[in-house]
Chain A
Amino acid sequence: MKHIYLDNAATTQLDQDVLEKMKPFIRDYYGNPSSIYSFGRESLKAIEQARETVASCFNCRSSEIYFTSCGTESDNWAIKGICSSHRAKGKHIITTNIEHPAVLDTFRYMKKIGYDITLVPVEKNGIVNASDIEKAIRKDTILISVMFANNEIGTIQPIAEIGAIAKKHNIVFHTDAVQAAGAIPIDVKALNIDLMSVSAHKFHGPKGVGALYIKRGIVIDNLLHGGGQERTRRAATENVCGIVGLAEALRLSVENMEKNNAHIKAIRDAVKAGIEAKVPYIIYNGDETNRLVNNINFCFKFIEGEALILLLDMKGICASSGSACASKSLDPSHVLLALGLPHEIAHGSLRLTFGKDSSMNDVDYIVNTVAQTVDRLRQMSPLYESFIKEH
């Protein structure tokens, strides 16, 4: 059976070249980077080389890159660390209402322990107004956290503008760049970013490793206390092979960004146009142009997303949905609701996210399979039945 992977926003396949780079550090070079003998220094050298590589991809110093276990840890560290270190200045923190749960849930936790949070709503196109962020600033605001690109609808936020606003008001600015890193150019200096989270498995690196960029001079408390790793800021024996993999995957993604994006965009655009031509009663979620080139997010009226995903799976297509049933909660995706979509429409969402290994040869199959599956579910939907009767 076919296997067409269209869920690259969820995770990506480890690149073969990345795996080769990692291999020596899985078994051969197992020395602890903190050890003094030369065998341990091989591991340390690999980590420091990886740090240089990552820094060069984001235009920062290698001493500003800290390796973590994942994007979620990076987000937790950024938010909890700043809240803790800046609590004497104030207890107000700002984010948007379409953040990844790693940020949103951490904000809710900060609220629970006594911080004030403001969730700035996005516009109908899934992009926040930088001026709305500025309006939310108070005297006691200590942190602004806005994601670089959204994981569900791919919309790219006005990071440069928000960075400038944060700088003007002397507030720490964090961005969750988990979807953006390796997909769009990022210059942390030019964008005035103070803290930035990334995760290796989103750009063809291994799972279980991430990084946090911390601008020199930013005072931030530790999340993990213990040994003196990562220049005493992040305790825990380093995931050497993971770190090597993250750096190599990022280097390859940045190096091949233009070529990969052109390829991905051509496929994405063809699938989008095909579905729009074949399937009536659909809504395209998120800004048409200001979004990641790999992302499609549709709502198909009269049907439910989980059923759609399961049927697509039977046809060999891996995709995802923001329906309540797919998310294991009672409500559909907070991102789709933030766009102003009613619940019944948000339940019928489909996200397709393409990657560098997606093939133009699969476009017709994807379009036809999606169209047939949507139609099949509509044929058994009482909502569609009554809609057709009335029209």
Chain B
Amino acid sequence: MYSAKVMDHFANPRNVGVLADANAVGQVGNAKCGDIMKIYMKIEDNIIKDVSFMTFGCGAAIATSSMATELVKGKTVEEALTLTNKAVMDALDGLPPVKVHCSLLAEEAIKAAIYDYKKSIGEQVTEDNFACNTCCHNKKCE
């Protein structure tokens, strides 16, 4: 049911672990729904120098975390903020319909980390209500 790319990123996840010198951390999801994604970033000169993740979740949740970190690594903060769940899905050659929410989780986890960074440097952050922090019955996923 999963594409070869999803299975690859699930079995050999990139950038997994805690980033010791991270200056931004974002976490979305909840245990009740069965998936939590935590993203660590080291941002210097507005560029994501390093990124890692910790994920509690299914194969798709781990694969989308892995792919999302790959997609934002080396990018500017602004570029990373444009990452969509669709881009994560496309990069993984698609996801089964019931797993689409995992890609949204990845998008929101990246955003959460960046907002955390913005707050830390005194920037105002307006949009930080993450759909994935409430529950899985999410219209955005359908």
- Cross-chain contact B56 with A330 (CB below 8 angstroms): no
What distance in Å separates the Cβ of A379 from its nearest Cβ neighbour in chain B? 8
Q: B58-75: contact bitstring with A at CB < 8 Å (1 yes, 0 no)?
A: 111110000000000000
Binds B, one of A178-186, A216-224, A277-285, A307-315: A307-315
Which of B38, B55, B57 has the most A CB atoms < 10 Å from its CB? B57
Q: Is the CB of B58 within 8 A of A306?
A: yes
Task: Enumerate chain B residues within 8 angstroms of A385, measured Cβ to Cβ.
Answer: 18, 38, 54
Pick from A60-68, A155-163, A320-328, A352-360 the stretch touching chain B. Answer: A320-328
> Quick one: which of B21-45 are within 8 Å of A by CB?
27, 31-38
User: B91 in the interface, Cβ–Cβ < 8 Å?
Assistant: no
Within 8 A of B (CB), among A351-391: 379-385
- What's the Cα separation between A196 and B100 when bound, in Å? 41
B54 in complex: contacting residue of A326, A332, A380, CB < 8 Å = A380
Q: For B18, B53, B62, B99, which residue has the most chain A Cβ atoms within 10 angstroms?
A: B62
A381 with B34: in contact, given A307-B10, A330-B137 (CB under 8 Å)? no
Given the known A-B contacts A323-B34, A343-B33, A344-B34, are A382 and B55 also in contact in the complex, defined by CB atoms under 8 Å? yes
Would you call A328 and B98 a contact (CB within 8 A)? Answer: yes
Kindly state whether residue A304 has any CB partner on chain B within 8 Å: yes
The distance from the CB of A345 to the nearest CB of chain B, in whole angstroms, is 9
Q: Mark A322-346, 1 if CB is under 8 A from B, else 0.
A: 0111101010100000000011100
- Among the listed B7, B32, B38, which residue makes an inter-chain contact with A344, where contact means beta carbons less than 8 Å apart? B32
Asked if residues B58 and A307 are in contact (CB atoms below 8 Å), the reply is yes
Closest partner residue, chain A, to B136 (CB atom): A330
Q: How many residues of B contact A (CB 8 A)?
A: 30
Q: Which residues of A contact B59 (CB under 8 A)?
A: 306-307, 310, 325
Q: How far is the CA of A342 from the CA of B31 in the complex (A)?
A: 10
- Tell me whether B58 and A383 are in contact (CB under 8 A): no
Inter-subunit contact A343/B10 (CB<8 Å): no
B13: chain A residues at CB < 8 Å are 380
| Distance in Å: Cβ of A101 to nearest Cβ of chain B | 17
Residues of B within 8 A of A314 (CB): 11
A380 engages B16 (CB within 8 Å): yes
What DSSP secondary structure best describes chain B's contact surface?
mixed
Q: How far is the CB of B3 from chain A (nearest CB, A)?
A: 13
A382 touches B34 (CB 8 A): no
Contact A324 B31 (CB under 8 A): no
| Residue in B closest to A380 when the chains form the complex, CB atoms | B16
For A304, list chain B residues within 8 Å (CB).
Answer: 34-35, 56-58, 61
Does residue A58 face the partner (Cβ distance < 8 Å to B)?
no
With A330-B136, A385-B18 in contact, do A380 and B55 touch (Cβ < 8 Å)?
yes
Q: Min CB distance, A283 to chain B, in Å?
A: 15
Task: Give A351 to B71 CA distance when docked, in angstroms.
Answer: 36
Supposing A323-B34, A343-B34, A344-B32 touch, asked if A382 and B137 sit within 8 A by C-beta, the answer is no
Q: When A311-B11, A330-B136, A382-B38 are in contact, do A344 and B58 touch as well, CB less than 8 Å?
A: no
Residues of chain B within 8 A (CB-CB) of A332 are 34
Q: With an 8 A cutoff between CB atoms, is A302 at the interface?
A: yes
A325 to B34 Cα, complex, angstroms: 8
Complex: chain A residue closest to B31, CB-CB: A344
Chain B residues lying within 8 Å of A384, measured Cβ to Cβ, are: 56
Contacts of B7 in A (CB 8 A): 310
Cβ-neighbour of B56 out of A303, A310, A311, A328 (below 8 A): A303
CB distance from B29 to the nearest CB of A (A): 9
A347 at the interface (CB under 8 A from B): yes
CB contacts (< 8 Å) of B16 on chain A: these are 380
Q: Are A307 and B57 in touch, CB under 8 angstroms? A: yes
Q: Which residues of B contact A381 (CB under 8 A)?
A: 54-56
Give chain A residues whose Cβ lies under 8 Å from the Cβ of B37.
Answer: 382
**Inter-chain contact A343/B11, CB cutoff 8 Å:** no
Q: How far is the CB of B24 from chain A (nearest CB, A)?
A: 15
How far apart sit A326 and B35, CA to CA, in the bound complex (Å)? 13
A-B contact pairs, 21 of them (CB 8 A): A302-B56, A304-B34, A304-B35, A304-B61, A306-B58, A307-B57, A307-B62, A310-B59, A323-B34, A325-B57, A325-B98, A330-B136, A343-B33, A343-B34, A347-B34, A380-B54, A382-B36, A382-B55, A382-B56, A383-B31, A383-B56
In the A-B complex, list the 10 residue pairs whose CB atoms are closest, starting with the nearest. Answer: A344-B31, A325-B58, A306-B58, A347-B34, A382-B38, A382-B54, A343-B32, A381-B56, A310-B59, A383-B56
